[in-house]
Amino acid sequence: MLEAFLTVGVIAVDGVLALVPSQGKLVAYAGFIALVIGALALDLGVFHKRPHAVSIREAAAWSVVWVVTALLFGWFVYEAYERHWLGLGLDTPYYVTTAVEGAGSIVRGEVTGMQALKQYLTGYIVEKSLSLDNIFVIALIFGYFAVPAMYQHRVLFWGILGALVLRGLMILVGAELVQRFDWILIIFGLFLVLSAVKMALIESHDDPGNNPVVRLATRLLPVTQKYYGSRFFVREGEEVGGERVVAPEGKPGVGRLLATPLFLALILVEVTDLIFAVDSVPAIFAITPDPFIVFTSNIFAILGLRSLYFCLAAIIGKFRFLKTGLVLILLFIGVKLLLLSAPPYLDEMAGWVGIEVGPVKAIKIDTGISLAVIGGTLTLSILASLALPRKEKAAPRV
């Protein structure tokens, strides 16, 4: 009976959405953004209206909710592209392996539901994997500023809201560049390979207090020495929670706007995500040049980051091989992108030094293979960490 109900629902939706003209893709974006805004409004305005410390049980439940929501949206992606709801799957950019005169790697045409679903799931897993390293940095920021547990969700909420806007802009610009100048994929590929090498060789988690953005913020705006509830800003001299706000230098006054340490933590969370986005946005363009798939899979991965943080923040450091797994994933994606984008240009590059190579066909690794490699690498790195835990250092004898 449930199957029959779903079938009738699909047919009904199919009949309605098939009538939408080519501008339907804009409707698809608007609908997705409305879905995200509605989910965030429910999150902060209903379920987390009162600040409280998020328990592991609560975080695990929310993690399941976000993962299930992302998978359900994957079902929508399949149906929408298969049935071309809102014009999705029609006149859509995708990678090809045929060497075309002019060295193009991207063409526009029809994309099936299964192709779109595999791209969406692969992009989602890539973004989710790369966000794991972000969790460690966020934990470092909260520890440095001694952010009370009951206010951490608020910081992550507004931090991720800002990340959605910044990543949306980066994806918009990236999609336009990729479709206009597909040679930029070579730069993306080289950048991902270099990022993997850097991650493997260099410890990049710096002292949050030395961040230049934090130093600039403290120069432009005085910062209080203590927290005043969950507020990012307070007025000097006003009363908050039965306590009068005092300026950092200890001189009482009235009306001057002051930032709290919670605001500094928020700034660093935003900066951290922006830094990680420099790696993750090119990585997802290695999967597909379709901006709708890139945008939706990226956003769903970010939406679940808050809950994932509260689940893993205390134990993420125990996964000793996780960083190795992330390095291998970045390296694989970078090489995959180079194999796809560089060969059509090899003849032209060789001509610069007087060597004639002839047309070279691009090598496209199937999305299903990519999904298996990325998911398998992440799973093996976690299992290896559990099977071979880091040995605790013995306490020195007195």
Which residue type sits at 156?
L
Confidence at residue 1, expressed as pLDDT on a 0 to 100 scale? 38
312-366 residue pLDDT tens: 887 877 888 988 999 999 999 999 999 988 887 877 776 676 666 666 778 888 8
Q: Which residue has the higher pLDDT, 394 or 61?
A: 61
Question: What is the average pLDDT across 1-30?
Answer: 53
Confidence at residue 252, expressed as pLDDT on a 0 to 100 scale? 56
Which residue type sits at 44?
L
CA 188, CA 238: separation in Å to the nearest integer?
50
User: How many CA atoms does the CB half-sphere of 62 hold within 13 Å?
Assistant: 23
214 close to 144: Cβ distance less than 8 angstroms:
no
Confidence at residue 358, expressed as pLDDT on a 0 to 100 scale? 64
**What is the secondary structure of 46-98 as a DSSP string?**
IITSS--PPPHHHHHHHHHHHHHHHHHHHHHHHHHHHHTGGGTTSSEEEE--S
52-84 residue pLDDT tens: 888 888 889 999 999 999 999 999 999 999 999
Is the pTM value of this prediction over 0.75? yes
Confidence at residue 17, expressed as pLDDT on a 0 to 100 scale? 42
130-186 residue pLDDT tens: 888 888 889 889 988 999 999 998 999 898 888 888 999 999 999 989 888 888 999
Confidence at residue 136, expressed as pLDDT on a 0 to 100 scale? 83
pLDDT for 263 beyond 80: yes
Q: Distances in Å between the alpha carbon of 230 and those of 226, 249, 263?
A: 11, 22, 10
Domain spans, the chain = 2-196+264-387
pLDDT level of residue 8 (50, 70, 90 thresholds): very low
Can you name the residues that pair with 235 across neighbouring β-strands?
257
pLDDT for 223 beyond 60: yes
Question: What is the average pLDDT across 380-395?
Answer: 80
Confidence at residue 7, expressed as pLDDT on a 0 to 100 scale? 45
Residue in the structure block whose two tokens are 């929670």 = 241
